[in-house]
Structure 1
Amino acid sequence: EEEVKIYRKMLSNSAFSAHIAPHTVEMASMFAILTRLAPSAKVDPLTKLKIYNGEEIVEKGSTKKVDITELREEAAREGMTGISTRFIMKALDTALSDSEHNCINPITVLDTLIKAVKEMVINEDDKKRYLGFLQDTLKKEYNKLLEKEVTRAFIYGYQEQAESLFNNYLDHSEAFVNSAKIKDKSTGEELECDVKFLQSIEEQIGITGTAALGFRQDVTAYMFSLLRSGGKIDYKSYEPLKEAIEKKLTVSVKELSRVITKARVRDGEQDGKYKAMVEEMQRNGYCDHCCNVILKYAANNLWRD
Structure 2
Amino acid sequence: MADLMTAAASAPDRPAADQTAPDKTAPASLRGTEMLAKLGADQSLDAYRHVHWQGSFSDYLDLVREQPAVARTAYQRLYDMVVSYGTYPVGDEKEGLIRYRFFDDPETGGRNAIFGLTRTLTDFVNTLKSAALGYGTERRVILLHGPVGSSKSTIAALLKKGLERYSRTDAGALYTFGWKETDPETGEERILWDPMHSEPLQLIPQEHREAICAMLNADQPESAHHIAITGEACPLSRFLFRERLAEADGDWTKVLESVVVKRLLLSEADRVGIGTFQPKDEKNQDSTELTGDINFRKIAEYGSESDPRAFNFDGEFNVANRGMIEFIEVLKLDVAFLYDLLGASQEHKIKPKKFAQTDIDTVIIGHTNEPEFKKLQSNEFMEALRDRTIKIDVPYVTRLKEEVKIYEKDYNGRRVKGKHIAPHTLEVAAMWALLTRLEQPNNAGLTLLQKLKLYNGKTLPGFTSDNVVQLRRESKHEGLHGISPRYVQDKISNALVNNSESTSLNPFMVLRELEEGLKHHSLIPDDEAREHYRHLISVVKEEYTDVVKNEVQRAIAADEEALTRLCGNYIDNVKAYTQREKVKNKFTGEEEQPDERLMRSIEERIDIPEARKDDFRREIMNYIGALALDGKRFDYRTNERLQKALEMKLFEDQKDSIKLSSIVSNTVDEATQEKIDVVKTRLIRDFGYDDESATDVLQYVASIFARGDAKGDDR
**TM-score, normalization: structure 1?**
0.86
- 3-state SS of 2:476 partner: coil
SS of the residue corresponding to residue 613 of structure 2 reads: helix
| Counterpart residue type for residue 412 of structure 2 | S
Does residue 196 (structure 1) correspond to residue 196 (structure 2)? The answer is no
CA–CA distance in 2 between the matches of 1:161 and 1:222? 22
Query: Aligned partners of 2:484, 2:625: CA distance in 1, in Å?
Result: 54
In the other structure, the counterpart of 1:169 is 570
1:53 corresponds in structure 2 to 456
The equivalent of 2:497 in structure 1 is 97
Shift of 1:264: 4.9
Aligned CA RMSD, in angstroms, stands at: 2.7
Aligned residues of 2:425 and 2:505 also touching (Cα < 8 A): yes
Structure 1 residue matching 2:684: 3-state secondary structure: helix
- Cα deviation, 1:212-243, whole Å, max 9, x if unaligned, reads 21122111222232344344534434333322
Counterpart residue number, 1:290: 693
Count residues with an aligned counterpart.
298
Task: Quote the residue 2:521 is aligned against.
Answer: 120
In 2, are the aligned partners of 1:58 and 1:65 still within 8 Å (CA)?
A: no
Task: Give the Cα separation in 2 of the matches to 1:265 and 1:237.
Answer: 37
Q: Distance in 2 between matches of 1:51 and 1:208?
A: 25
Q: Tell me, yes or no, if the aligned pair for 1:265 and 1:274 is still in contact at 8 Å.
A: no
- Does structure 1 residue 144 correspond to structure 2 residue 546? yes
How much has 1:177 moved relative to structure 2?
Answer: 0.9
User: Given that residues 259 and 265 in structure 1 are in contact (C-alpha distance below 8 angstroms), is that contact kept between their aligned partners in structure 2?
Assistant: no
* CA distance in 2: counterparts of 1:105 and 1:227, whole angstroms: 46
Deviates more, 1:43-52 or 1:194-203: 194-203
- Read off the aligned partner of 1:67 and give its amino acid letter: N
Which of these residues, 539, 561, 574, is aligned with residue 160 of structure 1? 561
Structure number with greater CO (CA < 8 Å, separation at least 6) is 1
How far apart are the structure 1 equivalents of 2:509 and 2:447?
Answer: 26
Q: Is the 8 A contact 2:504 2:693 kept in 1?
A: yes
Does the 8 Å contact 2:624/2:633 carry over to 1? no
Distance in 2 (CA, whole Å) between partners of 1:172 and 1:215 is 13
Give the Cα–Cα distance (whole angstroms) in 2 for the partners of residues 235 and 140 of structure 1. 30
Closer/same/farther in 2, CA of residues 39 and 206 from structure 1, 3 Å limit? closer
Aligned equivalent of 2:583: 182
Q: Secondary structure of 1:91's partner?
A: helix
Q: Is the contact between residue 259 and residue 271 of structure 1 (CA under 8 Å) also seen in structure 2?
A: no
Distance 2:508 2:659 in 1: 19
Which shows bigger deviation, 90-99 or 204-213? Answer: 204-213
| Partner Cα separation in structure 1 for residue 515 and residue 602 of structure 2 | 41
- Are 1:134 and 2:537 an aligned pair? yes
Residue in 2 that maps onto 1:241 = 642
Q: Aligned in 2, Cα 1:10/1:204: closer, same or farther, shift over 3 Å?
A: closer
Provide the residue aligned with 1:299 in structure 2. 702
Aligned-partner Cα distance in 1 for 2:625–2:640? 16
Shift of 1:149: 0.8
Q: Which has the larger strand fraction?
A: 2
The answer to whether the 8 A contact 1:260-1:274 is kept is no
User: Between Structure 1 and Structure 2, which shows a larger proportion of helix residues?
Assistant: 1
What SS does the aligned partner of 1:38 have?
Answer: coil
Task: Tell me the CA shift for residue 204 of structure 1.
Answer: 3.1
Q: What runs of 5+ residues in structure 2 fail to find an aligned partner?
A: 1-400, 710-715
- 1:266 equivalent to 2:666? Answer no
Aligned partners of 1:239, 1:90: CA distance in 2, in Å? 39
Identity of aligned residues (%): 33
2:617 to 216, 223, 228: 216
**Aligned partners of 1:261 and 1:299 also within 8 Å:** yes
Matched residues in 1 for 2:604 and 2:477: separation?
46
1:22 and 2:423 are equivalent in the alignment: yes
Paired amino acid for 1:206: D
Distance in structure 1 (CA, Å) of the matches to 2:605 and 2:433:
36
* Runs (5+) with no aligned partner, structure 1: none
Give the C-alpha shift of residue 90 in structure 1. Answer: 0.9
Question: Which TM-score applies when normalising by structure 2?
Answer: 0.39
